[in-house]
Each structure stands twice: as structure tokens, then as C-alpha cells.
Amino acid sequence: MRNSVAIAIFSFLKQETKLKINAIKFCYNFVKKFSISRFLCYLIDKSVIPSRDKIFRNYILKNSQKWKFRREFLNKNTNKYVLIINIVNHTGYTVTEAVIGKNLMEMFESDGMALLRKYDLKSKLIFESFGIKKFIFLDDLNFFMRLKYFLKAYSIIKSYKAVDDFLKFELNGVNLGRAVYDHYLRFTGVGNFVTLGFHAKIK
């Protein structure tokens, strides 16, 4: 029991090290991809595109013009929103989500709102080019909160032996078992499994 918890904590610390390294790389990549002077102008004037990539700037400009015309047909007298979630930093995925969300906005005559990771400026620029103006940003929890929830999640998963049982797991009336299972399959490349082995519990 103690050994399994120790290994789980070691796995957590390993992931934390990767997060710290990525945080350092983020600063370098940000300056590499975005012009600081343009970014400062963007904070004042949203029409400024801070990206250094000319192709990306051209895409944002043309896409903004396209959807600026179409968004005039939306019914602004509504409190309904289509929530578009994008927490995967991949341009293709972001654009796909935005296109689907924008068409749903038109179908239901609703405004749009995007859920993004904090500091994901590229995705924010893409969503803004689709006429999305409202954003919710996910911030990272501090180290101790992440450790707390990691151990809590590990304890819950450890209490299940079979995947079929875990798929039924709910918290506050929301089924989380299927969501966790789907996330695990997508980001590990594992096709399927029927028992919750130790590797699956700490991944």
C-alpha cells in the first residue's frame, strides 16, 4: 500500500517537473511567436494581430472580415450562449471547434463563449476572428492543490478493479468515469483495457 502511494507521488513529481520545464519554454516560445510591441498594441486595440507569422496574420484578418459580415444576422436580444471548449493547443483542433461552435450560434441565434487555457493567445486570436468576445480562462492550480486532487483521484480510481464499474462513477450527479476513460484512451494511444492496472491509475 505504502509503496504504491510512494510510486504514485513519484509519478506526480515527474509530471510536475515537466510542467516547470514547459513553463520556462513558454516564455521563449511566446517571444518567438509573438511580437512584444504588437502584443502591447493588441492589449489596447484588438484589431492588431501580434503574431510574427505573416500567414497566420493574413488568416486572422480574412477570417475576421468573413465572420464580421455573417454575425450581423445573429439575434443580439438573447441571453443564450454556446460554450466552445478548447484546451488542446493545436490550431487544427481550435479552428474545427470554432467553426462548429459558430454554426451552432447561428442555428440557435445565440452568442458565443470560449473556454480556453490561460495564456493561450493563439487560440484566443482564432476565436476572436470568429466573432467570439466572451472568454473563460482556466488557470493552473498551485502545487499543493494539484497534489491534493491527484491523491484524491488516485484514491477513487484505486477503489475500482474493473473498467465497466469505473465507467459508472459519478460525482455530484455528473458521470466522470466515462470522461476519464475517454481522456486516457485519447492521450495514451491505448486501444482498450478491461482492468484498472497500476499504470492506468497513476497516468
Could you report the per-residue pLDDT of 18-73, keeping only the tens digit for each?
A: 888 888 888 899 999 999 999 999 999 999 999 999 999 999 999 998 887 665 55
The 10s digit of each residue's pLDDT in 128-180 is 999 898 999 988 778 888 888 888 888 888 888 888 888 888 888 888 888 88
- Structure confidence at residue 191 as a pLDDT band (50, 70, 90): low
Residues 132 and 165 in one domain: no
Classify residue 156: in a domain, yes or no: yes
Distance CA(182)–CA(60), nearest Å, equals 32
Classify residue 82: in a domain, yes or no: yes
Distance CA(49)–CA(34), nearest Å, equals 9
Tell me the CB-side half-sphere exposure of residue 40, using CA atoms within 13 A.
3
Domain C-terminal end among 121, 138, 155? 138
Distance CA(68)–CA(71), nearest Å, equals 5
The 10s digit of each residue's pLDDT in 97-115 is 999 999 898 888 888 899 9
Classify residue 10: in a domain, yes or no: no
Task: Quote the domain boundaries for residue 118.
Answer: 53-138
Classify residue 32: in a domain, yes or no: no
Domain C-terminal end among 91, 116, 138? 138
Residues 124 and 57 in one domain: yes
Residues 108 and 147 in one domain: no
Residues 100 and 68 in one domain: yes
Task: State the DSSP H helix or E strand holding residue 32, giving kind and residue range, or none if neither.
Answer: helix 2-33
Task: State the DSSP H helix or E strand holding residue 114, giving kind and residue range, or none if neither.
Answer: strand 111-117
Residues 156 and 134 in one domain: no
Classify residue 68: in a domain, yes or no: yes
Classify residue 6: in a domain, yes or no: no
Domain C-terminal end among 86, 104, 138? 138
Number of folded domains that form the chain: 2
| Assigned C-alpha cell, 183 | 481522456
| Assigned C-alpha cell, 173 | 450527479
| 60 neighbors 125 (Cβ within 8 angstroms) | yes
Work out the angle at residue 123's Cα, subtended by the Cα atoms of residues 121 and 125, and round it to the nearest 5 degrees. 70
